[in-house]
A = this chain, B = another copy of it.
Amino acid sequence: MESFLDELNQLRNLDFDTYRKDFLLTTDKTREDIKATIKMAQLLRTLYRNNISTRFFQTGLAISIFKDKSTRTRFSFASAANLLGLTLNEFDETKTQVSHGETLRETSNMISFLSEVIGIRHDKFIGQGHQYMKTVGEALDEGFAEGVLGHRPAIVNLQCDVDHPTQTLTDILHLKRYCGGRLEDLKGKKIAMTWAYSPSYGKPLSVPQGIITLMSRFGMDVHLAHPEGYDLMDDTMDKAKQYAEESGGSFTQSNSMEAAFEDADVVYPKSWAPYSVMEEKTKLLEEENESGLEELEQQCLERNKQHIDWECNREMMDLTRDGDALYMHCLPADISGVSCEHGEVTEEVFEQARINTYYEARYKPYIIAAMIIGARFRNPISLLDYLYRKRNRRAGSFES
């Protein structure tokens, strides 16, 4: 706790501008915005760990809209809301009149009268998730401008087709601690963001896209490797190149897992679908073409099988720096012999890294909470300062 005020001063020195802005893509944010968000997450965690209440709100709703399954992000959003004193309300389209033909513009306002934040996961359809969030945002802008809403709730992207910022900021906070404690320590470190085999298809591209665009901004040597045809969205690769140039890092793309792992400090092997398949899938879903979808799935699974050797195993890990790179994964991983016959990673490698993947995951509630207070308060620094000085106990006593 001694260092709390020092850390707060570091936050004061950052020139960030997150107030009244949604957190949709890290590429929309400045490096200072990102640094400030990470710093606020750490400060919130310090308060929590010292049993100091972080109720920024006495009342208020946090709405979540999940258009795909989720464990970590669902509970992280619930935890973040609770940490700040907000009450979660999950918007479930099957229980509402959206199935009666209500428009998104209208619904966005109807769920927002007393809401502070709307968290959205919409990651299954290429070209749709990010657009959906922007449409909600425009509806809220209109509602606020017209006085329908007394304030403008913030939107937090809980994973879209383009980016997964709550995951990648969690990842960079984990990396920061691992590499020495400062974001500067990431400079010159090599991260291998690689495809890995999985007996499933259609996994979103948002994690690899988010990783290459974020880590390249902080001076890392980013090596993206995948089998031919498993490209990401062009725009994210262009951004990664540009950021690497600006930051003094590098961005390499190859079709060799080995080349990526070679001397890597960090490896992030993970399955995803080829961009073209995701586009095709989106089209077929829109057409409700069931047989087409089944055929596509079979084709895609067959195609994946040709790359069954893209597995993170001991031999691959031995290629990394001192054979001891940090293994990262957003979880759940497909573990060979555990959750499937052949998967992204062997049981041996995963088991060694397992607790580290938990460490990685644990920051997410604080990252989300930091995104919320950054967007909802003009001066979150003075509020953090106030909570620190007030020292209201979160649980009954320090004995908990």
Q: Which residues of A contact B (CB under 8 A)?
A: 48-49, 53-61, 66, 69-72, 74-76, 78-79, 82-85, 87-89, 95-103, 106-107, 109-111, 113-116, 142-143, 146-151, 331-332, 334, 338-340, 354-355, 358-359, 361-362, 364-365, 373, 376-379, 382-383, 386, 392-397, 399-400
Contacts and interface: CB of A to CB of B under 8 A. Distances in A.
Contacts of A146: 355, 358
A116 B79 CA distance: 11
Given A103-B339, A377-B396, A394-B60, A75 B113 contact: yes
7 contacts: A69-B99, A79-B113, A101-B340, A113-B364, A114-B365, A143-B358, A148-B355
A291 B95 CA distance: 25
Contacts of A111: 71, 75
**This protein's copies in its complex:** 3
B101 A48 contact: no
Contact of A395 (B56, B147, B354, B362): B56
A60 B82 contact: yes
A267 to B, nearest CB: 19
B61 A78 contact: yes
Nearest to A361: B110
A365 B110 CA distance: 11
Nearest to A99: B69
Given A78-B87, A114-B365, A377-B399, 10 more contacts: A49-B150, A58-B394, A60-B395, A71-B107, A79-B114, A83-B114, A103-B332, A110-B331, A373-B396, A386-B396
Contacts of A70: 95-97
A107 B70 CA distance: 11
A378 B399 contact: yes
Contacts of A362: 113, 148-149
A219 to B, nearest CB: 28
A261 B334 CA distance: 57
A329 B150 CA distance: 22
Contacts of A106: 331-332, 354, 358
Contacts of A116: 395
Given A101-B339, A113-B76, A400-B377, A55 B58 contact: yes
Contacts of A383: 396-397
3 cross-chain pairs, A with B, having the tightest CB-CB distances, nearest first: A101-B339, A378-B399, A71-B96
